[in-house]
Amino acid sequence: MYSECEMAADRLDRALGRLDALVNWERRDRGGGMDRSLEPVRDVLERVGAPHRGFNSVLVGGTKGKGSVCALVATALDRAGVAVGIYASPHVERVTERVRLGGEEVGREALAKALEEALEAREAALAEGAPGGAATWFDLVTVAAFLLFAQAEVDWALVEVGIGGRLDSTRALDPAVSVVTNVELEHTATLGPTREAIAGEKAAVVGENGVLVTGVQEEDEAVWEVLRTTCEAAGARLVSVPQRGPIEARNLALAEAVLNELGRLGVRDGDGRPIWRSHLDAEAAASARLPGRQERFSVAGVPVVLDCGHTAEAASLLLEELERDPELGRKPKLLLALGREKDAPRLLKAFAGHVDRCLCSTAPEGRLLDCEELAERAHEAGHDPEAWDDPEEALDDAITEAAETGGWVLIFGSFYLAAVLRPRLERLAADLLD
């Protein structure tokens, strides 16, 4: 006899098997041939009852900090008694990480049912020759998330953009509040070759007559002008939030600004008070931490920091912050993997002179550079790199050396690398506690 848990697992695995037969741009080369359109996701949403019209939304785009801002705002709302959901991407270990309801990760059975409904709607569209027949992996996961939000009768959903904004599946929403955390060079083959072009894609997350909260400053003239004109065309208000200090402080400032805007829209807590930045206290902020974002482990007395950042700017900010931490001190041993579309030369130069060892690896999933190619690029950027086919062996070697000679380990560059190493770090840390 199967337990209910095993049956739910089988059902979700079957749904994911059907889903994995579709185009998945998270695992494919996002080059100029990437076919992006909102028509497929909109068609499927209509076929399943337009769940996206059953809740209010905050749509969060930008280069980095998207998931953290979503988690911070949602945690504050949940603690204030507002029914809230989160849709985030990508996941680190489990696909169920992508959808949270009332602070809890969605169950496997519930996600399986929602995915089945989305898949059946796609198949019906395909038989009719309708746009929904071209829906992708991310389109259908997005539809499933919106179904779950509508079924749970959430008041607000915090939704993280997958890539860009203008043609991302999540833009099927008409958000009351939108966010562009920041704009850096990324996905240039898909979003455009300049920060201004990328800003145009990201600014399109703003809803009609809505508000756009951003960490971009007026001094960043070219990018600011793109955001300003996009908001003007949408009849939306543009709110700039100063970005100072460490990464967590910057994300917190953006989340507080979003809460202020929700309060202005009439969102109230359980006591009838307008939602405001004060609803995001230190305890709420601490509980909103996400896996793979400056996540810390201790293995055999060695500090290990796991971060899924993948841009030169993210690397520089992270190093600046961690180098001031007295618990870490000396230069880290860097274990790195990078997607093929990332700007490897700039990112590797950001680490040059700041690490005492560079271990280049990869992961079995995703469009990542192989370890030898990454090591070659690291050498060109001034490192003395090592190529490791097996990231777990690389991690073990780095931890062993750090335990013997002192220092710490920094894992950086890819959610796919984090998906391989995070379970091992949890096991190693737990074994030492037993």
247 contacts 69 by C-beta, under 8 angstroms? no
Whether 323 and 372 map to the same domain: the answer is yes
Average pLDDT, the chain: 93
Do 211 and 335 lie in one domain? The reply is no
Q: Nearest CA to 331 among 314, 354, 312?
A: 354
What is the C-alpha separation between 17 and 20, in angstroms, rounded?
Answer: 5
Q: Looking at residue 169, what is its pLDDT? A: 97
Q: What is the CATH number of the domain that holds 353?
A: 3.90.190.20
Tell me what pLDDT residue 108 has: 97
> Looking at the structure, do residues 76 and 190 belong to the same domain, yes or no?
yes
Note the pTM of the prediction, 2 decimals.
Answer: 0.91
Same domain, 265 and 316: no
Residue 277 shares a structural domain with residue 304: no
User: Does one domain contain both 255 and 305?
Assistant: no
> Is the separation of the CB atoms in 176 and 139 below 8 Å?
no
What CATH number does residue 237 fall under? 3.40.1190.10
Residue 434 has pLDDT above 50, yes or no: no
Provide the pLDDT confidence category of residue 329 given band limits of 50, 70 and 90: confident
131 and 250 both lie in a single domain: yes
Residues 223 and 301 in one domain: no
Last residue of a domain, one of 261, 287, 313: 287
What integer pLDDT is reported at residue 34 of this predicted model? 53
Q: Are 200 and 42 in contact (CB under 8 A)?
A: no
Of 257, 287, 317, the residue at which a domain comes to its end is: 287
Q: Are 119 and 19 in contact (CB under 8 A)?
A: yes
Q: What is the mean pLDDT of residues 162-189?
A: 92
Mean pLDDT over 338-353 rounds to 93
Model confidence pLDDT, tens digit, residues 220-238: 999 999 999 999 999 999 9
- Give the closest residue to 157 by CA, choosing from 60, 297, 301, 39: 60
Say whether both 324 and 279 belong to one domain.
no
Among the candidates 238, 258, 287, a domain finishes at 287
- In the sheet that 99-101 helps form, which strands lie side by side, from edge to edge? 104-105, 99-101, 84-87, 156-160, 56-61, 177-180, 211-214, 237-240
| Structural domain that includes position 302 | 295-433
Residues 310 and 273 in one domain: no
Contacts (Cβ under 8 Å, ≥6 apart) of 215: 62, 65, 180, 181, 182, 240, 241, 243, 250, 253, 254
Query: Into how many domains does the chain fold?
Result: 2
Residue 31 is predicted with a pLDDT of: 52
Q: Are residue 101 and residue 232 in the same domain, yes or no?
A: yes
Write out pLDDT tens, residues 276-297: 999 999 999 999 988 999 999 9
Pairing of strands 302-307, 295-299: antiparallel
Mean pLDDT of 32-50: 87
Cβ neighbours of 17 (radius 10 Å): 9
Let me know whether 45 and 178 are in one domain. Answer: yes
